[in-house]
Chain A
Amino acid sequence: MDARFLAELARLVGDDALLRDPADLLTYESDALVHLRATPGAVVLPSTAAEVQAVVRLCHRDGVPFVARGHGTGLSGGALPAPDGVLIGLSRLNRILDIDIPNLRVTVEPGVTNLEITRRVSPAGCYYAPDPSSQIVCSIGGNIAENSGGAHCLKYGFTVHHVLGVEAVLPDGELVHLGGAVLDAPGLDLLGVLVGSEGTLAVVTKATLRLLRRPERVLTLLAGFNSVDEAGEAVSAIIGCGIVPAAVEMMDRLTIEAAEASVHPGFPPANAVLIVELDGPQVEVDELFAVVEAACRRAGATTVEVARDQAARERIWKGRKAAFAAMGRVSPNYYVQDGVVPRTKLPEVLRRIRALEQRSGLRIGNVFHAGDGNLHPLICYDESIPGQAEHAERVASEILTYCIEAGGAITGEHGVGADKKAYMPQMFTASDLDAMQLVRCAFDPTGICNPGKVFPTPRLCGEVPGPYRQHPLERAGLIERF
Chain B
Amino acid sequence: MGRPDAATIARTAASLWGTHGVHLAGPADAVDGRSPLVVLEPEDAGTAARMLRWADTEGLTVVPRGAGTKQVWGSASTGADLVLSTGRLSAAIDHCAGDLTATLPAGASLAQVNDALGRQRQWLPLDPAFADRATIGGIVATNDSGPRRQKYGTARDLIIGIEMALVDGRTAKAGGRVVKNVAGYDLSRLLCGSFGTLALITSATFKLAPLPAASRTVVATVGSARRLGELALALVAAPLTPAAVEVDSPPTRLLIRFETTPAAADQQAAAACEACERHQAPTRVLQGDTEADTWRSYEAQLWHTEGTLLKLAVLPSDVGDLVDLVERATASRAIDYRLGGRAALGVLFLKLRGNVERHMEIAADLRRAAAARGGSAVIVSTPVSGAQRIDTWGHIGDGLPLMRAVKARFDPHGTLNPGRGPGGL
Chain A contacts to B: CB under 8 angstroms: 100, 102-105, 146-147, 149, 153-154, 157-158, 160-161, 170, 174-178, 180-190, 192-193, 195-197, 213, 215-216, 236, 239-240, 242-244, 280-284, 287-288, 340-344, 369, 372-374, 407-416, 420, 424, 427-429, 431-436, 438-443, 454, 464-465
Contact = CB atoms under 8 A, between A and B. Distances in A.
Contacts of A415: 182
Contacts of B261: 283-284, 287-288
Contact of B173 (A103, A186, A236, A428): A428
Given A153-B180, A242-B210, A433-B184, 9 more contacts: A100-B315, A181-B315, A186-B394, A283-B261, A411-B183, A413-B182, A431-B170, A438-B406, A443-B402
A105 B317 CA distance: 11
B183 A410 contact: yes
Given A103-B317, A186-B376, A438-B409, A342 B101 contact: yes
Given A181-B374, A436-B174, A441-B409, A192 B186 contact: yes
Interface of B: 96, 98-101, 121-122, 143, 153, 156-157, 164, 166, 170-174, 176-190, 192-194, 198-199, 209-211, 213, 233, 236-237, 239-241, 260-261, 263-264, 267-268, 311, 313-317, 345-347, 373-376, 378, 393-394, 396-403, 405-410, 412, 421-423, 425
A281 B184 contact: no
B180 A149 contact: yes
Nearest to B122: A242
Contact of A184 (B181, B194, B313, B408): B313
Identify the interface centre among B100, B166, B209, B394: most chain A CB within 10 Å of its CB. Answer: B100
B148 to A, nearest CB: 15
B403 A187 contact: yes
A431 B241 CA distance: 42
B323 to A, nearest CB: 16
Contacts, number: 270
Contacts of B237: 102, 213
A413 B183 CA distance: 9
A147 B27 CA distance: 46
Which 7 A-B pairs have CB atoms at the shortest separation, nearest pair first? A192-B189, A242-B210, A216-B239, A435-B172, A284-B264, A344-B98, A409-B181
B36 to A, nearest CB: 24
Contacts of B189: 160, 189, 192-193
B305 to A, nearest CB: 22
A170 B153 CA distance: 29
B182 A193 contact: no
22 contacts: A147-B182, A158-B180, A170-B402, A182-B315, A183-B313, A183-B345, A184-B376, A193-B189, A236-B98, A243-B210, A280-B260, A281-B239, A281-B268, A343-B99, A372-B179, A373-B99, A407-B177, A412-B180, A424-B183, A435-B199, A438-B406, A438-B410
Contacts of B153: 157, 161
Contact of A287 (B264, B378, B423): B264
B184 A432 contact: yes
A466 to B, nearest CB: 10
A439 B409 contact: yes
Contacts of A178: 399
Nearest to A410: B183
B180 A413 contact: yes
B185 A436 contact: yes
Contacts of B402: 170, 176, 190, 442-443
A411 B182 contact: yes
A286 to B, nearest CB: 9
A435 B180 CA distance: 21
B316 A102 contact: yes
A341 B178 contact: yes
B408 A283 contact: no
B98 A428 contact: no
Contacts of B171: 431
A242 B121 contact: yes
Contact of A188 (B194, B210, B316): B194
Contact of A185 (B122, B192, B397): B397
A182 B183 contact: no
A344 B96 contact: yes
Contact of B399 (A157, A187, A411, A428): A187
A185 B396 CA distance: 8
Given A182-B374, A193-B187, A103 B180 contact: no
B178 A188 contact: no
Contacts of A438: 406, 409-410
B164 A435 contact: yes
B181 A411 contact: yes
Contacts of A240: 98
A177 B399 CA distance: 6
B394 to A, nearest CB: 6
A408 B178 contact: yes
A192 B263 CA distance: 37
Given A102-B233, A157-B157, A342 B177 contact: yes
A158 to B, nearest CB: 8
B180 A340 contact: yes
Contacts of B100: 239, 244, 343
A409 B315 contact: no
A303 B192 CA distance: 46
B409 A442 contact: yes
